[in-house]
């Protein structure tokens, strides 16, 4: 184990991997060897840094220089200039979105994107090599397990989690300590601990990033949970679509077994605990706890009514404690630093921090972790950098298909479980999708409902049939065939589904429609009554028109039109035939005079 | 299976390896070596490697070794700055690999700069 004078950290999260970080790592190793630096400089593949927008991300320590959007051909320059001669490559340094500065002296923590964040669940992501247990150990890893097993009783562990005020990060927000307590109190010869890593919300990737960047944190937390409730076996239910997460998790479990941190008689305390991975096939409903457990058992992933709750009768009909990945990611920190430390962050009823996956029409797509109670506005503008291309912000969708859309007027809402529900949305697992003036809210509602109709397991009628009927109505509205009374029909269906569906998926399925109706009712009305899409988004309701005063007759539009819908002669204004027009928008993109508009 | 003591040993050893990834440089001693063309030509690379070696040997996890460009006094290369937090920067000149262990032992470990190697001594 050698000390290197410099470490080159390359992001190996999913975002940066898909923009080519694996090639970067190979190239770095190649070039370092070429210059004889392989014994001085170490290249480390880490988990997600969070700023996926600027990927692939490379950080050089000890300087802390933050390079963004690094291409394989830039590697040469970083090696010969920075690593060999100690001269930072200024033009590759990240440009801060807020200050527009490209300052090579700035370290990661002083960049606007990170400054307001507070990393608890993501503390090791982008810092350690997730495939190396020693690095996790060096970051105080498995110290919490040691503390719990050797100095705390099971009751004390549960008490600490209860006192911390930690609530389920998967969306429901149920107090985690209570869940642990109920499972602890159930009497049985065998109990189970399970981890829900079936992250299904469109746009959410925080669990994925934690598993990819810090898998040992989850293993440690599950072992602590196993000790607390009296379980000797745990299951991690993870989507097969997360290959990097599955691979790193498997490596981590093997390493933990080798070090005796999983298995028989851990730390010679007589406590046995082992973990297995179960792969999900990617059905959204399998994120629902009863469906998830059926799937682990090898049965069809369908929910069953509760009670009995899993704490009484879960996996294989034994008491089971199921928590989400991000919830577990907080556990070791609470045990180590104490409940009071955790409870000092956040709001009165929502303690700690929350990770959000920022996506959609936002400058800094990526992963952010902020203390509960941070206003939406500061997440979207200060950290996220606002909407790209100077477009006007319209709404933010939180909570995935079970959540809702919040308009500009609610941007000052402090983000926590209760405030979001009061505002008509929910925390959900933490997807946050930003929409600008070009997004049609009716179409957004239709998109989410389309997702739900696809993902409904079909077991109960309200969800199977009700959501389908709602989707049909929405499809009609966006096609300009909406009728008077459609809005009322949607509301009635929504209320019925909410009240009667079997599981959480169905209960919350109408939320995207209800929340857009609540805040953007005028858009629905414009579609139905005036056959007009205010955002100029719905194809059936818009027309491309050429302004004769601006058209110079350059014929560019006529040449690009795939339907030959544009006619006109050179130097004379052109005309679009609405009957032939496919509304593809190519002509508008091509026009250099801004003469074509959507109406 | 590892015992608690073995885990602790791994923690310590690994911490010293990855210590340089922290940004709170407040208690970090920095060894900065001039490695522009002049420095490299004068033999800065073996000097730097000796520093890395020596620090490695002594498991000094609060010390980082980094490079810098030409300071302008090429005739004095290889030059090395040792910056101990709270103390004034000390500049060593004409550094050779065999001088490194003494600089590390006396200056970095025991807090007494090696006066005869410093720029002040060379200029007199």
Q: Return all residues near A156 (Cβ < 8 A) that are at least 6 apart.
A: none
Chain B neighbors of A127, CB-CB under 8 A: 21
Chain A neighbors of B49, CB-CB under 8 A: 39-40
Bridge partners, A236 (sequence order): A195, A277
Angle at A592 between CA A591 and CA A598, to 5 degrees: 40
Chain A interface mutation, best of B4, B5, B6, B10, highest count of A Cβ atoms under 10 Å: B10
Q: What's the length of chain B?
A: 124
Reported as a single tens digit per residue, the pLDDT across A381-405 is 999 989 998 899 999 999 888 888 9
pLDDT (0 to 100) of residue A100: 78
Chain A neighbors of B47, CB-CB under 8 A: none
Res B79 pLDDT > 60: yes
CA distances from A492 to A315, A429, A497 (A): 36, 27, 9
Chain B neighbors of A141, CB-CB under 8 A: 11
Percent of chain A with pLDDT over 90: 62
- Cis geometry, peptide bond prior to residue A410 (ω within 30 degrees of 0): no
Reported as a single tens digit per residue, the pLDDT across A267-316 is 999 999 999 999 998 888 898 999 999 999 999 999 998 889 999 999 99
Tokens matching residue A319: 């008491």
pLDDT (0 to 100) of residue B30: 86
pLDDT (0 to 100) of residue B25: 54
* Minimal CA separation from B121 to chain A, in Å: 27
Model confidence band, residue A2 (pLDDT cutoffs 50, 70, 90): low
Res B22 pLDDT > 70: no
- Residue of chain A whose Cα is closest to the Cα of B41: A85
Model confidence band, residue B26 (pLDDT cutoffs 50, 70, 90): low
- State whether B16 and A40 contact (CB < 8 Å): no
- Residue of chain B whose Cα is closest to the Cα of A64: B23
Res B24 pLDDT > 70: no
Residue ranges of the domains in chain B?
4-123
Chain A neighbors of B48, CB-CB under 8 A: 5, 40
**Which residue among B2, B23, B67 places its CB closest to the CB of A85?**
B67
Reported as a single tens digit per residue, the pLDDT across B92-115 is 999 999 999 999 999 999 989 998
Give the count of alpha carbons within 13 A of A48, CB side only.
31
Res A81 pLDDT > 90: no
Res A174 pLDDT > 50: yes
Tokens matching residue A345: 């962050």
Q: In this predicted model, which residue has the larger pLDDT, A250 or A19? A: A250
Considering only CA atoms, which of A283, A307, A305, A322 is closest in space to residue A200? A283
pLDDT (0 to 100) of residue A295: 95
**Which residue among A86, A108, A259 places its CB closest to the CB of B69?**
A86
Question: Could you tell me how many CB contacts below 8 A there are between chain A and chain B?
Answer: 90
Q: What's the length of chain A?
A: 599
Q: What is the mean pLDDT of residues A184-206?
A: 92
- Cis geometry, peptide bond prior to residue B106 (ω within 30 degrees of 0): no
Considering only CA atoms, which of A10, A122, A124 is closest in space to residue A61? A10
Q: Return all residues near A430 (Cβ < 8 A) that are at least 6 apart.
A: A169, A204, A206, A326, A354, A355, A356, A357, A398
Greatest extent of chain B over all pairs of C-alpha atoms, in Å: 61
pLDDT (0 to 100) of residue B23: 58
- State whether B14 and A109 contact (CB < 8 Å): no
> DSSP of A159-178, one letter per residue?
HHHHHHT-B-TTTT--BHHH
Tokens matching residue B44: 């800065």
Taking a C-beta distance cutoff of 8 angstroms, is the pair A487, A517 a contact? yes
Q: Compute, in degrees rounded to 10, the torsion defined by CA atoms B84, B85, B90, B96.
A: 30
Considering only CA atoms, which of A279, A127, A145, A276 is closest in space to residue A214? A127
Reported as a single tens digit per residue, the pLDDT across A553-581 is 899 999 999 988 998 888 889 999 988 88
Structural domains in chain A, CATH included, are 6-108 (3.40.30.10), 133-343 (3.40.50.11540), 353-436 (3.10.20.600), 441-529 (1.20.1440.230), 543-598 (3.30.70.20)
How far is Cα A377 from Cα A374, in angstroms, rounded to an integer?
8
- State whether B66 and A86 contact (CB < 8 Å): yes
Model confidence band, residue A98 (pLDDT cutoffs 50, 70, 90): confident
| A400 secondary structure, DSSP code | G
Q: What is the mean pLDDT of residues A214-233?
A: 96
Reported as a single tens digit per residue, the pLDDT across A21-50 is 999 999 999 999 998 888 889 999 998 888
Chain A neighbors of B52, CB-CB under 8 A: 3-5, 40
Look at domain B4-123 and name its CATH class. Answer: alpha beta
> DSSP of B15-71, one letter per residue?
HHHHGGG---GGG-EEEEEE-SHHHHHTTHHHHHHHHHHHHHHTT-TTEEEEEE---
**Mean pLDDT for chain A overall:** 91
Q: In this predicted model, which residue has the larger pLDDT, A459 or B66? A: A459
Reported as a single tens digit per residue, the pLDDT across A434-458 is 999 999 999 999 999 999 999 998 9
pLDDT (0 to 100) of residue B121: 82
Res A424 pLDDT > 50: yes
- Residue of chain B whose Cα is closest to the Cα of A264: B1
pLDDT (0 to 100) of residue A1: 46
């Amino acid at each position: 184990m050698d000390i290197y004078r410099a470490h080159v950290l390359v992001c190996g999260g999913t975002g940066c991997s898909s923009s080519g970080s694996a090639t970067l790592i190979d190239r770095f190793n190649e070039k370092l060897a070429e210059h004889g630096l392989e014994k001085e400089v170490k290249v480390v593949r880490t988990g997600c840094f969070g700023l996926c927008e600027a990927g692939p991300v490379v950080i050089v320590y000890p300087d802390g220089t933050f390079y963004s959007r690094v291409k394989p051909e830039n590697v040469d320059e970083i090696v010969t200039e920075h690593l060999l001669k100690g001269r930072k490559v200024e033009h590759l340094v990240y440009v801060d979105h807020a200050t527009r500065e490209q300052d090579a002296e700035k370290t990661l923590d002083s960049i606007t994107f990170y400054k307001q964040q507070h990393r608890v669940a993501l503390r090791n992501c982008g810092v350690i090599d997730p495939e190396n247990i020693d690095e996790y150990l060096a970051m105080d890893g498995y110290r919490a397990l040691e503390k719990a097993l050797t100095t705390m009783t099971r009751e004390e562990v549960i008490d600490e989690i209860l006192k911390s005020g930690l609530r389920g990060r998967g969306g429901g927000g149920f107090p985690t300590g209570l869940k642990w307590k109920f499972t602890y109190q159930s009497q049985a010869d065998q109990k189970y601990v399970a981890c829900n890593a079936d992250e299904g919300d469109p746009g959410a990737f925080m669990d994925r990033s934690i598993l990819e960047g810090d898998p040992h944190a989850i293993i440690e937390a599950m072992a602590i949970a196993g000790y607390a409730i009296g379980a000797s076996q745990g299951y991690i239910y993870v989507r097969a679509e997360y290959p990097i997460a599955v691979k790193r998790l498997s490596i981590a479990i093997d390493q933990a077994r080798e070090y005796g941190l999983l298995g028989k008689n851990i730390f010679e305390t007589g406590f046995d605990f082992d973990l297995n991975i179960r792969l999900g096939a990617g059905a959204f409903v399998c994120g629902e706890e009863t469906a998830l457990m059926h799937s682990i058992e090898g049965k069809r992933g369908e929910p069953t009514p509760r009670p009995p709750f899993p704490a009484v009768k879960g996996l294989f009909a034994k008491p089971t404690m199921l928590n989400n990945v991000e919830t577990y990611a907080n556990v070791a920190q609470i045990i180590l630093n104490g409940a009071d430390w955790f409870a000092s962050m956040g709001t009165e009823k929502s303690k700690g921090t929350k990770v959000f996956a920022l996506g959609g029409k936002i400058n800094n797509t990526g992963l952010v972790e902020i203390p509960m109670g941070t206003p939406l506005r500061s997440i979207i503008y200060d950290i996220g950098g606002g909407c790209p291309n100077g477009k006007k912000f319209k709404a933010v969708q939180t909570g995935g298909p079970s959540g809702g859309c919040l308009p500009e007027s609610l941007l000052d809402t402090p983000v926590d479980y209760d405030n979001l529900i009061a505002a008509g949305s929910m925390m959900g697992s933490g997807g946050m999708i930003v929409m600008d003036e070009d997004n049609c809210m009716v179409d957004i509602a239709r998109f989410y409902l389309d997702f739900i109709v696809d993902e409904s397991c079909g077991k109960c009628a309200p969800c199977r049939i009700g959501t389908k009927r709602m989707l049909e109505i929405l499809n009609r509205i966006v096609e300009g065939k909406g009728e008077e009374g459609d809005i009322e029909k949607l509301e009635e269906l929504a209320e019925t589904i909410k009240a009667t569906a079997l599981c959480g998926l169905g209960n919350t399925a109408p939320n995207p429609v209800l929340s857009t109706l609540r805040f953007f009712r005028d858009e629905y009305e414009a579609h139905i009554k005036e056959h007009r899409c205010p955002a100029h988004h719905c194809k059936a309701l818009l027309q491309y028109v050429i302004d004769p005063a601006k058209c110079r007759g350059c014929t560019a539009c006529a040449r690009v039109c795939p339907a030959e819908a544009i006619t006109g002669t050179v130097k004379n204004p052109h005309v679009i035939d609405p009957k032939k027009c496919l509304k593809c928008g190519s002509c508008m993109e091509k026009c250099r005079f801004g003469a074509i508009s959507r109406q | 299976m590892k015992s608690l003591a073995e885990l602790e040993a791994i923690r310590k050893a690994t911490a010293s390896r990855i210590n340089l990834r922290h940004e709170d440089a407040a208690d970090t001693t920095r060894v900065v070596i001039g490695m522009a063309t002049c420095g490299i030509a004068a033999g800065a690379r073996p000097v730097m490697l000796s520093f890395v070696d020596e620090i490695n040997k002594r498991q000094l996890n609060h010390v980082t070794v980094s490079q810098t460009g030409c300071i302008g006094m090429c005739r004095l290369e290889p030059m090395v700055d040792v910056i101990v937090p709270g103390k004034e920067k000390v500049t060593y000149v004409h550094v050779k690999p065999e001088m490194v262990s003494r600089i590390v032992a006396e200056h970095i470990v025991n807090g007494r700069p090696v006066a005869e190697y410093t720029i002040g001594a060379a200029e007199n």
